């Protein structure tokens, strides 16, 4: 149908552009999901900061904080922490309650 309206060359360009956009979104989605799985499966609390730093970089690279309200809330609560921003992994600071809160907030993050 597109070919009859636009011509075959224009239809191909449009189709390729849409396919490229969805491929890029799928790649970003997979990257965010990988960060989420790493955070959720981390059994060493000090490694959580490193994983949050990676997620922060992905958020900034793809402007994910502005896509959804839950992303903005997660960024402000967890990824704007100066320790995460500097990429440090200080000892301590993680309690079971804080980790559970992080996991709960992480479930709402979308790419």
Reported as a single tens digit per residue, the pLDDT across 57-87 is 999 999 999 999 999 999 999 999 999 999 8
DSSP state of 64: G
DSSP reduced 3-state for 75: helix
Instruction: Give the E-state strand segments of the chain in sequence order.
Output: none
Residues in the chain, pLDDT under 70: 1-7, 10-14, 16
Three-state secondary-structure class, residue 88: coil
């Amino acid at each position: 149908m597109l070919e009859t309206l636009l011509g075959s060359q224009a239809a191909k360009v449009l189709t390729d552009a849409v396919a490229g956009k969805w491929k890029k979104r799928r790649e970003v989605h997979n990257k965010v999901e990988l960060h989420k799985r790493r955070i959720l499966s981390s059994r060493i609390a000090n490694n959580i900061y490193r994983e949050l730093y990676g997620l922060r970089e992905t958020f900034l690279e793809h402007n994910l904080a502005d896509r959804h309200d839950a992303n903005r809330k997660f960024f402000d609560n967890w990824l704007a922490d100066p320790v995460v921003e500097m990429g440090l992994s200080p000892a301590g600071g993680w309690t079971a309650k804080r980790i559970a809160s992080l996991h709960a907030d992480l479930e709402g993050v979308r790419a």
